[in-house]
Amino acid sequence: MTVIPPGHVLIGTNKGGLVHGSERPRYEASIPEFMIMYSFLTVKQFNQIVEEEGGENSPIEKLNWEDVEKILKVISTELPTGFEVRLPSEAEWMRAKQHLGFELPLACEEMLWDHPSNNNRGAPIDGRPRLDERVGSLMKRYRASIKSHPTKKGLTFRSQTPIFSPQADTFIRLVIRKTDSSEAVRVPEEADLKAIFKQEVLIAIMIGIVPSFLIPIFRGFSDYVLDGWANLIFGGLCISFASAAIWRPRRPTWYLDDDGKSLTARKNSLQSSEGIVD
């Protein structure tokens, strides 16, 4: 285990295109001190925990969820009161990567403690795992994960993995952290729909409707502007909607205020204890 000191890290992206919707809004996570394994849990370590002999010093993969819970239960009995052992949350993993500089091997997946989610809204900003408390939710059959690119070193992305059908090349590492029963500060659940609507109207006019009207004028078909104005408006809206998939202005990032109890959305960067963050 390696101690990770308190620090800040940005989670998600502020890119505006719809393809980045699952990674928004970007927010600053303020992570307290915790401990994490620098490397993946090995076969030998697993056997030692469950009091078995032998095993290689290579990472253990395709570990089923029952075995994960088994080793966590064994380790938790050795911890002082007020501490827990589990897999890292996404925010904890990002903070550990930032501090330690480790990288995932090519074409592998690391299971996290979070349940999968559609976006970052509602995420606790202190790095606690994000769990789905809905009764009967199918997301409880999965855990979030970090996947590495099969050929490009250092390139990772958020994914999810089933817990009852272990996958090849899926590994784990453990975290020990002090428990906190206080209410977590969370990223707001609701988007600023009014601001988004105003932005979309302006973009539709500037990159869709206006060019749609200018093109026939420049090509010498000015009469069509009067006769086919409805088609031109519709065509401009279609262009605007299509462009939303890959481009929109960058969105604000949610930063923790000095009081530590509220968040403010802004576009400027913030200096953290590690000299991040934007």
pLDDT at 73 over 90: yes
Burial class (CB in 10 A: 0-12, 13-18, 19+), 251: buried
Rounded average pLDDT over 185-191: 93
Rounded average pLDDT over 23-38: 96
**How far is Cα 123 from Cα 125, in angstroms, rounded to an integer?**
6
Q: What is the largest CA-CA distance in the chain?
A: 86
**How far is Cα 82 from Cα 179, in angstroms, rounded to an integer?**
5
Please state, rounded to an integer, the average pLDDT across all residues of the chain: 92
Continuous segment of H or E residues that includes residue 35: strand 34-36
In this structure, what token pair is assigned to residue 203? 């973009």
Q: What is the pLDDT of residue 97?
A: 96
pLDDT at 272 over 60: no
Rg (CA), the chain: 24
pLDDT at 275 over 60: no
pLDDT at 257 over 80: yes
Q: What is the pLDDT of residue 269?
A: 61
CA dihedral 195, 278, 87, 126 (to 10 degrees): -60
Burial class (CB in 10 A: 0-12, 13-18, 19+), 212: buried
pLDDT at 103 over 70: yes
pLDDT at 179 over 90: yes
Rounded average pLDDT over 147-165: 93
Q: Of 4-8, 14-18, 67-71, 257-261, which range is least confident?
A: 257-261
In this structure, what token pair is assigned to residue 143? 């855990």
Domain extent listing, the chain: 2-188+253-266, 193-243
Burial class (CB in 10 A: 0-12, 13-18, 19+), 177: buried
Q: Of 88-97, 99-108, 204-213, 220-229, which range is least confident?
A: 220-229
Q: What is the pLDDT of residue 214?
A: 94
- For residue 176, what pLDDT band results from cuts at 50, 70 and 90? very high
| Percent over 90 (pLDDT), the chain | 81
In this structure, what token pair is assigned to residue 248? 């929109």
Q: Of 28-32, 105-109, 268-272, which range is least confident?
A: 268-272
**How far is Cα 129 from Cα 256, in angstroms, rounded to an integer?**
18
CATH for 2-188+253-266 (3.30.720.200, 3.90.1580.10, 3.90.1150.10, 3.40.710.10): 3.90.1580.10
| Percent over 70 (pLDDT), the chain | 96
Query: Is residue 273 left, alpha or beta, with left meaning phi > 0 and alpha meaning psi from -120 to 50?
Result: alpha
- For residue 102, what pLDDT band results from cuts at 50, 70 and 90? very high
Rounded average pLDDT over 223-241: 93
Residue with token string 């109890």: 261
Rounded average pLDDT over 72-87: 97
Helix (H, G, I), strand (E, B) or coil at 114: coil
**How far is Cα 23 from Cα 26, in angstroms, rounded to an integer?**
7
In this structure, what token pair is assigned to residue 263? 């968040």
- For residue 259, what pLDDT band results from cuts at 50, 70 and 90? confident
Rounded average pLDDT over 101-130: 95
Specify the amino acid at residue 132. D
Continuous segment of H or E residues that includes residue 9: strand 7-11
Asked if residue 75 lies in contact with residue 173, where contact means CB atoms within 8 angstroms, the answer is no
